[in-house]
Amino acid sequence: MIRFAANCAAACLPWTGALLATVLLPLVSTAQDGTRISPPGDEWIQRYGFVAALGEGTAVVTSDVGAHVYRREGASWVSEAELPLGIVVAVDGNLIAGRGRVRDAVDLFRFDGDDWQLESRLGPRETDFGTEVAVNGDVIVVGNPFDDTAGSRAGSAVVFRHIDGVWTEEARLVAADATANARLGATVALDSGGEVAVVGSHEIQAAYVFRRTNGQWIEEEKLLPPSDSFPDFFAREVAVSGDVVTISGRMEPPDARGVVYVYRFRDSGWTLAQTLVDSLGFSGDEFGVSVAIERSVLVVGNPNRLRYYYDTGGVHLFEYDGARWVEDLRLYESHEEEIVLFGWSVGIRDREVIVSALGASAAYSYDVSRFVGESSRELDAVELLGNYPNPFHEQTVIRLALTDPADVAVRLYDVRGRQIRDVLSTRLSAGEHAIPVYVNDGAMPSLSSGLYFYRVTSGAYSETGSFVVVR
């Protein structure tokens, strides 16, 4: 049985060393159970729950047998299909992507309203092509850690886009400072807009952020671990949502606890904003073995967290309150004498969380909407992410993130406060947007060398940024 354990917001205290510690209340009488997702026939299946993910009214749980697809009917999950995929899959809407039965290839299945059909096969490619997969709408990023393009086993991630009914390779993401045996692509993540990808490497302790600008994928930044990270564990899992990237790792001994580093994009760069740990954890725990993020909600798995001296596991739910990430909720497996590994895999979609219990051959789903958003606020409906490059001599790109569709205006001013351009005035959809500004832009006034300011407005929202033109 899986239960909720709610936290008191007033019990959140600062941890020495700039870590966020959360003091938890015990399980309370108002705790409620999650919805169990069992193997067909409720039989034990080896490695059932290696990956658990949510789609559009669907749940997918992988095992050594294949990918088990379930469809929600009322409050229950009903088995719908078993797809010939491996233990690593990604889901978005009615599309499921994962390594298939053909070695070193990725198969894509789409629900046509009646059944799941094989839509395409990407590959076969290099050894271990598809070790991790991320999908969003018409974009798929595939980990390719044994790619030799930039050096022997330097690794890469391959981006595919669905164009006119065909999945076409759009880009191969390799590190600018690629080194042999880096095996970049061991972990990958893709944001909800399909414009930002994070690609990790265990071997060189780094994660690279790539952004699609004007149709081209550009390496934006290399994220390195802080000094307290333990070698061989940084970037074991990565996730991204808007201007937030999370990277899990492990702290240096003797602490050696699992840790999740939260990076934010500000002023054309990524900076470490917060470090999250299980404040009641222990040396060698697995906090961060799985991570998932959706806007202002972050879910972290900790499958060998001890309770009653057994590896029952736990899951931590953090929410951004406008200044920091605060733990709102903790989920436990309440069996007292089993190695359950609850939290081995986690996922989130529309405030519903899915968690696998690998040691119990089960998965569970939870509606956490009533636990989040009440005492903490969402990220701004419109958020200015800055511009890059800065300074520049030909073009810069202003980036915005919208949680909902909105009318947005962007205006440009000189150092004397005079408006010199209407850069944008239109309604934008939810998601991330890239707005180019050119030094020479047709009938608009040319920009000479110097400092300029731009203002982004939407309703009551207003924020100002600046850039420097060098000619």
| DSSP result, 284-310 | T--TTSEEEEETTEEEEEETT--BTTB
- What whole-number distance in Å separates Cα of residue 414 and Cα of residue 243? 27
Counted residue by residue, the chain has a size of: 471
In sequence order, the β-bridge partners of residue 95 are 92, 110
**Residue pLDDT, tens place only, 68-80:** 999 999 889 999 9
Asked whether residue 444 carries a pLDDT value surpassing 50, the answer given is yes
The answer to whether residue 282 sits within a structural domain is yes
Asked whether residue 66 carries a pLDDT value surpassing 70, the answer given is yes
DSSP state of 195: S
C-beta neighbour count of 352 within 10 angstroms: 17
- What whole-number distance in Å separates Cα of residue 51 and Cα of residue 48? 8
Instruction: Report the candidate in 97, 44, 46 with the shortest Cα–Cα distance to residue 69.
Output: 97
Q: What mean pLDDT is predicted for residues 53-67? A: 93
Calculate the average pLDDT of the chain: 84
Q: What mean pLDDT is predicted for residues 50-75? A: 93
For the chain, the distance separating the N- and C-terminal CA atoms, rounded to the nearest angstrom, is 65
What are the Cα distances from residue 55, in Å, to 61, 137, 165, 237, 372? 11, 11, 21, 20, 21
**Residue pLDDT, tens place only, 346-403:** 999 988 999 998 888 899 999 888 777 643 344 456 888 888 898 999 999 999 988 7
Amino acid identity of residue 201, one-letter, is S
**Residue pLDDT, tens place only, 305-320:** 655 445 578 889 999 9
Domain that holds residue 461: 382-469
Instruction: Report the candidate in 42, 46, 39 with the shortest Cα–Cα distance to residue 61.
Output: 39
231's tokens: 């070698």
Asked whether residue 440 carries a pLDDT value surpassing 80, the answer given is yes
The answer on 106 and 44 residing in a single domain is yes
Question: Whole-prediction pTM value?
Answer: 0.75
The answer on 438 and 334 residing in a single domain is no
The answer to whether residue 396 sits within a structural domain is yes
The answer to whether residue 374 sits within a structural domain is no
C-beta neighbour count of 180 within 10 angstroms: 13
The answer to whether residue 238 sits within a structural domain is yes
For residue 365, what pLDDT is reported?
93
The answer on 391 and 347 residing in a single domain is no
Q: Residue 246 maps to which CATH number?
A: 2.130.10.130
- What whole-number distance in Å separates Cα of residue 330 and Cα of residue 278? 10
**Residue pLDDT, tens place only, 242-268:** 889 999 998 877 778 899 999 998 877
Give the HSE-up count for residue 219: Cα atoms under 13 Å, Cβ half-sphere: 16
**Residue pLDDT, tens place only, 155-179:** 999 999 998 889 999 999 999 999 9
Cβ 301 vs Cβ 421: under 8 Å: no
Q: What's the number of domains the chain is made of? A: 2
Q: Which of 314, 342, 367 is the last residue of a domain?
A: 367
Asked whether residue 3 carries a pLDDT value surpassing 80, the answer given is no
- What whole-number distance in Å separates Cα of residue 419 and Cα of residue 250? 50
The answer on 146 and 255 residing in a single domain is yes
**Residue pLDDT, tens place only, 407-421:** 788 989 887 777 889
Burial class (CB in 10 A: 0-12, 13-18, 19+), 449: exposed
Q: What is the DSSP string of 97-137?
A: EEEESSTT-EEEEEE-SSSEEEEEEE---STTTTSSEEEET
For residue 156, what pLDDT is reported?
96
The answer on 179 and 234 residing in a single domain is yes
Q: Which of 344, 367, 390 is the last residue of a domain?
A: 367
DSSP state of 64: S
The answer on 416 and 292 residing in a single domain is no
The answer on 189 and 51 residing in a single domain is yes
Q: Which of 343, 367, 391 is the last residue of a domain?
A: 367
Q: Say what the alpha-carbon torsion angle 183, 246, 12, 335 is, to the nearest 10 degrees.
A: -60
